[in-house]
Amino acid sequence: MKMQRHYWIGSDLDEMETIAKELEAMGALGPQIHLLTLDDTGAENHHQLRDVQSLMKRDLLRSGAYGLLIGICAAALVLLVAHSAGWTQSSAGWLPFLFLAIVLLGFFTWEGGLWGIQTQNARFKRFEAELKQGQHIFFVDLRPDQEGMLKQVMGGHPAATFAGTGTARPHWIMVWQHRLRHFLSETMP
């Protein structure tokens, strides 16, 4: 099911928490609702708000994937050159070239991850100025049939400013996150 992410900007964490409670009361799942803020202490004091995890604030996954792709290309190039040049016909065979290919794959993946951990997540880069000004980004991932609920809730909160839409995680991931959280908190105390 195709979902869409809706972004809102506000300065009051209490109001953001009220919005989250109202959305959950109307049927939104907890993993659909998020808060992006630089005020980690304030977010921790508002238990209904789910702060974006620190690793997700960084571009680790995307940059690591780019590093992996570069590593695959480098490894394939090493193996192709070794085979084309006839170096694999020596007494050593393929072993040193396979080892070099594995090392290059790991190195470029690692470098991509290091680059990504220093960089802000590309999805949140557009909100950098607002975050530095002390604002908070509240976002909700919704199915098309839930968008009316969001309009109804946000109509009662004029202090929150609409900041656009974006792509959301797949619905099945959120459902499984909700089920896992429910299992761990209520079934296994």
| CATH code, domain carrying 24 | 3.30.70
Q: Which one, of 170, 147, 172, lies nearest residue 3 by Cα?
A: 170
Same-domain check for residues 180 and 127: yes
- Position 114 scores a pLDDT of 94
Query: What share of the chain has pLDDT > 90, as a percent?
Result: 28
Picking from 117, 140, 162, the residue at the C-terminal end of a domain is 117
Q: Which one, of 35, 7, 6, 10, lies nearest residue 20 by Cα?
A: 35
DSSP 25: H
- Higher per-residue confidence, 125 vs 175: 125
Same-domain check for residues 170 and 156: yes
Same-domain check for residues 65 and 99: yes
Q: Provide CB contacts within 8 A for 156, sequence distance 6+.
A: 22
Asked if 100 and 78 count as a contact pair (C-beta separation under 8 A), the reply is: yes
- Position 171 scores a pLDDT of 67
Q: Which of the four pLDDT bands, split at 50, 70 and 90, describes residue 189?
A: low
| Domain around 151 | 4-55+122-187
Picking from 93, 117, 141, the residue at the C-terminal end of a domain is 117
Say how far apart CA 138 and CA 10 lie, in whole Å: 8
Cα torsion angle, 96, 99, 105, 111, sign: negative
Summarised one tens digit per residue, pLDDT across range 109-162 is 999 999 999 988 888 888 888 988 989 998 888 888 888 888 888 888 888 888
Instruction: Determine if the pTM surpasses 0.85.
Output: no
Run of H or E including 2:
none
Same-domain check for residues 111 and 127: no
* 69 has a pLDDT exceeding 70: yes
Neighbours of 152 (CB within 10 A): 12
* 85 has a pLDDT exceeding 70: yes
Picking from 86, 101, 117, the residue at the C-terminal end of a domain is 117
Same-domain check for residues 9 and 50: yes
Same-domain check for residues 39 and 131: yes
* 166 has a pLDDT exceeding 90: no
Summarised one tens digit per residue, pLDDT across range 12-40 is 888 888 888 888 888 887 778 888 888 87
Q: Which long-range contacts (CB under 8 A, 24 or more apart) does 52-57 make?
A: 52/124, 56/121, 57/120, 57/121, 57/124
- Position 59 scores a pLDDT of 86
Same-domain check for residues 41 and 129: yes
What integer best gives the mean pLDDT of the chain?
86
Mean pLDDT over 94-106 rounds to: 96
Same-domain check for residues 158 and 176: yes
Same-domain check for residues 135 and 98: no
Same-domain check for residues 21 and 104: no
* 68 has a pLDDT exceeding 90: yes
Q: Provide CB contacts within 8 A for 139, sequence distance 6+.
A: 5, 6, 7, 8, 33, 34, 35, 36, 166
Report the domain count for the chain.
2
Same-domain check for residues 130 and 177: yes
Q: Which of the four pLDDT bands, split at 50, 70 and 90, describes residue 56?
A: confident
- Position 174 scores a pLDDT of 65
Same-domain check for residues 109 and 69: yes
What's the count of helices (H) and strands (E) in the chain, helices before strands? 8, 4
